Amino acid sequence: MTKVILQVYPTLGAEDKMAELRPIGRNNQAWQDMLAGLVDVAKAADDLGYWGLTHVEHHGHSEGMEVSPSPLMLNIYLSHFTRRLRHGQLGLVLPAHDPVRLAEEIALADHMMQGRLFVGMARGYQARWQNVLCQKYGVTSTASDQSEADQRNRLLFSENFTIMKMAWENDLLRYNGPTYQVPFPFEGIKNWPPAETITRPYGVPGEVDENGTLQGLSAIPKPYTSPHPQLFQAFGASPGTLRWCGEENVTPTILMGSHEKLRQLMEIYLEGANSRGRSPAFGEGIGVCRTFYVYPNGTPEDEVRARIRRSVELYEAPVWQGWYAQFGFMEGARLDGEEGPVPKPGEHLADRLINSGLLIGGTVDDVKRQVAGFLQKMPIDYFVWLFHWGMIPPEEGLPMLELFANEVMPEFDLDAAPRTASAATV
C-alpha cells in the first residue's frame, strides 16, 4: 500500500508578504499566522487519511522560506492537534548535532507522540547556517564531490548515525570512533561520586566499575518505538546514498523525475539491501517526491492548463527557480539524455515539471491515470507530496488535499484511515 506524506516546509508568506514584511523571518505575527496555518493543515491531513506530515531543518532563513529551525518541536506541537497522523522531518542534519543528545531528544519526542514519530536524516547543503552551527565539529555544508569537506561531512553523518542507533538499541553505550568517544576519555571517567550509593545498585550493570570509573553512558529514554522510529533519508538521488539506504534499511525519498534514473536508483537500493541479507521487493521501502495539482472532473482542459500554469508561477516558481535551482535541485527535472540548462531558455517551469514527471496534475481522472501509470512501473511505498504551504493559500491548498484524498487515494488503496469531508472548511 502506497502512503502519502505531505512535505510542508513551511513558508511564512508568498512573495508579496516576503517583500512587505522584510525580513519576514523575524516577524512575530508572521510566525503566529504560520503556526496557526500548520495546525489547520495538520488537522486536515489527519482527518483525510494522509500517512504523515513532515518538515525540514533549516536555520537563519530571514527570507521566510523553509522556516523550520526546530522540526522536532513542530512535530510535538502539531501532534497534539492530530489523532493518527505521523509527524517527522526530511530531515534532521546529523552533522549539525551531538549524536547522543539528538538520540535522546528523538526518543523523548517519540514518547510524547506515542510512536507517531518518524525520523528523516540529511547531510546538509546550506553553507549560510551549517558552516556556523557546525564550526565546533569541524564540518561544513558540501556537495557530493568527493572533496575533503565532502568526506568530512560524510564521516560525521555516518558516525553520528551509528552512535544514535547504538544509543537507542543498547542500555549502555560504548563507542570509540574517529571523532567521538563514549565515555570520554574512552578509558573511563574516574571518581564518579555516587558510584557506590546510586549508580552501582540502580544504574545499568557495568556502567561503573569496581573502582568507581564510568565505563559508558546510558541514553535515556530508549525510544517508545522498538528499536527506534522509522528512518528516512531526505531527497537522496545519488547511487552511494541509495546503496547506503538499502544497507541500513532506511527509506530514501528520491527527488527524480526520470523513470529510467529512478529505476536505476531503486535497483541500487535493492543491491544494498541484499548485501545485508534483506530481500525487499522492487519499490518496497522507497519514497519518491512529487507535486500534485488536482481539480474536479468536468473542469475544461484549457482551464486546467491555465490554473496549473498560474499556480506554478505563483507558488512553485519562487521555490523551484528562486531556491531549488540555486542549489542544483533542478537536476531532478532533467530529461533522459538531455544536456544543457534545465529548464531550457524560454521554457515555462510548468512544462518542465510536467514533462519531467515531477508534477502530476489535472482533473481527478487525469491524476488517476498518471498515478496508475507511475505505480504500475514503480510500485513504491511512499509518495512525498512537495506541498509549499505558505506559498499556496489555504483556500486553494485545503480543497485540493480533500479532493486528492477522497477521489484519488481510495482508487489506489493509498490510505487505510477513515476520512471526513470537512477538511476544506478547517
- In our burial notation (b when 16+ CB lie closer than 10 A, e otherwise), range 48-84 reads bbbbbbbbbbbbebebbbbbbeebbebbbebbeebee
- The pLDDT value given to residue 418: 41
Are 56 and 62 a contacting pair, CB within 8 Å? no
Query: Dihedral angle at the C-alpha atoms of 280, 282, 284, 287, nearest 10 degrees?
Result: 140
Q: Model confidence over 221-252: pLDDT tens digits?
A: 999 999 999 999 998 788 999 999 999 999 99
pLDDT, average across residues 326-337: 93
Residue type at position 308? I
Q: Whose CA is closest to 358, among 380, 339, 386?
A: 386
Please check the confidence at residue 419 and state whether its pLDDT lies above 60.
no
**Residue 191 region by backbone torsions, left for phi larger than 0, else alpha for psi between -120 and 50, else beta:** left
Residue type at position 270? L
Which residues lie across from 52 on neighbouring strands? Answer: 5, 86
Question: CA 254, CA 34: separation in Å to the nearest integer?
Answer: 27
Please report which confidence band the pLDDT of residue 148 belongs to, taking 50, 70 and 90 as the band edges: confident
Q: Model confidence over 67-110: pLDDT tens digits?
A: 999 999 999 999 999 999 999 999 999 999 999 999 999 999 99
- The pLDDT value given to residue 416: 43
Are 21 and 27 a contacting pair, CB within 8 Å? yes
pTM: 0.94
Question: CA 195, CA 192: separation in Å to the nearest integer?
Answer: 5
Question: CA 279, CA 270: separation in Å to the nearest integer?
Answer: 7
CA distances from 227 to 64, 165, 168, 220, 224 (A): 36, 9, 7, 13, 8
Q: Model confidence over 35-63: pLDDT tens digits?
A: 999 999 999 999 999 999 999 999 999 99
Q: Model confidence over 158-212: pLDDT tens digits?
A: 999 999 999 999 999 999 999 999 999 999 999 999 999 999 999 999 999 999 9
